[in-house]
Structure formats: C-alpha cells, structure tokens
Structure 1
Amino acid sequence: MTLLINLAGLLLIALIIGWFWLSQPGGRKTRSQQIVSETTVIVDNGVYDPAVIHARAGQPLTLHFQRKDPSPCAEQVVFHGLDVSAFLDTGKTTTITLDNPAAGEYRFTCQMQMYQGRLVVD
C-alpha cells in the first residue's frame, strides 16, 4: 500500500513539473504574434493568454490583465527586468502601462513564477 501511495505521489509531482515548468507557451493556443501597443491578457487556468507579447521599443505599451483564475498564485503579475508589478483582482481588469520599454526580452510571471509569459520588445 505504501508503495502505491509513493508512486501516486511521484506521478503527481511529475505532472505538476510538466504543467508549470516544462510546458512551452507556444504549444498552447495563442493569438497572432503581431506587434501591439495595447492588448488584453487573460489570466486563467494557470496561463497567460497571450503568453508572448510583441511590442515596439521606445513606445508606450498598455496591457489590460483580466484575472479569471481565483488561485492565490494569480493575484500578482511581475515584470522581471522592468521593476514593474501589479496586484490583479479576480473578475476585474487591471491596466498596466509600460512607458517606452527598452528593446529586449522580459519575462512576466506570477509571484511564485508558475504562470509565465514573455514580453518581446523590438
């Protein structure tokens, strides 16, 4: 019985690792990879949609985050390398404006880095 419980636990750990850390955002349904100055990001079921956002360097970018997932992990979005973060209320839209971001690639995640996305600024 103990062996069966341990095997079930290991299988669950493998599924969690695969879902949150090994899955590729490009493998899920995403919107067009066009350059935008404003877009809406849906936060639901452990993912950001779109997971990859393309923007122009030196131009303001407005992001509207709609949080549908009540999970505590989804309550904050953090833009690494830009020193920007915001708390997201469930069922509401939170707007973040990035003023003239520099060219580069920036990750955006939840506070526990389980939800993951990329901002590509060209």
Structure 2
Amino acid sequence: MEVLWVNIIGLLLIAWIIWWFWLGPKHKAGKEVAGGEKLHILVKDGVYEPDRIRMPAGRPATLHFCREDPNPCSEWVLFPDLEISAELALHQETLVEIPASAPGEYPFTCQMQMYRGVLVLEP
C-alpha cells in the first residue's frame, strides 16, 4: 500500500513540474508589439515581456533586451532559426540585431528553453 502512495505522489509531482515550467501562468500569451524605433523586451520573473513581437519582414531591426532576472538561465537569448545568440547583461540594456528576414514566426528562448517568445515577421 505504501508503494502505491509513493507512486501517486511521484506522478502528481511530475505533473506539477510539467505544468509549472511549460503550461503554467508564466507562459501565457503576452501583448503584441508592433515594430517601432525601439523594441524593449524585459527579462524578468521567468518570462520575456512582451513575449510576442510583430515587425515588418525584409527590414533589419534592433531589439533592446533588459535583463532584470539574476537567474543563470536568463543569461542568453537564442533565435535558433535566425542563427542568433546574445549574452544578456544583468541590469543593462543589450542590443540584439535582427537581420532582414523572410516573413514567418521565429521563436526565441533562453538556453534551457524555459523563457519563450516569438518574433513574428509580417509581409
């Protein structure tokens, strides 16, 4: 009987971890930001804010990341589809240059993929 309870508690713990890191309140859809002169992305409390950025395709842009989260996971931002990575300085603005790219959705994450966002390039 004790083995059954240990297994039930273990399964509940696994379900909670999955919910917390991938489905929980930290990863709800954020506001969309239209492209402008300065696009600021705040890195704080386990999220990118905003986590969805809309910009025109075919034009280079600069994203301004401000990292306020001391968590080591937040040290890097990766745009794997664009082959871009940048180390984010704590409590400083870090500029990330986005080259002119084709329309589409380009995810960006931390190195452990716990922080998530999407760059949407529109035609």
User: TM-score higher than 0.5 here?
Assistant: yes
Question: Does 1:25 find its partner at 2:24?
Answer: no
CA contact (8 A) 2:105 2:120 kept: yes
CA contact (8 A) 2:79 2:106 kept: yes
1:1-122 pair list within 5 angstroms: 3=5, 7=9, 10-23=11-24, 24-26=27-29, 30-31=30-31, 33-37=32-36, 38-122=38-122
1:52-79 CA-to-partner distances (Å, cap 9, x unmatched) read 0001011122111100110110000000
**Offset at 1:22?**
1.8
RMSD: 2.1
Q: Which consecutive residues of structure 1, in runs of 5 or more, have no partner in the other structure?
A: none
The residue identity in structure 1 corresponding to 2:35 is V
- Could you tell me the TM-score, scaled by structure 2's length? 0.82
Moved over 6 A (4+): none
Residue 84 to residue 14, structure 1, CA distance change in 2 (3 Å): same
SS at match of 1:17: helix
What is the alpha-carbon distance in structure 2 between the residues aligned to residue 61 and residue 79 of structure 1?
A: 14
1:22-71 CA-to-partner distances (Å, cap 9, x unmatched) read 24431xxx34x242143100001110000000010111221111001101
- Could you tell me the TM-score, scaled by structure 1's length? 0.82
1:73-102 CA-to-partner distances (Å, cap 9, x unmatched) read 000000020000000111111011212122
How many residues are matched? 117
Residue 94 to residue 58, structure 1, CA distance change in 2 (3 Å): same
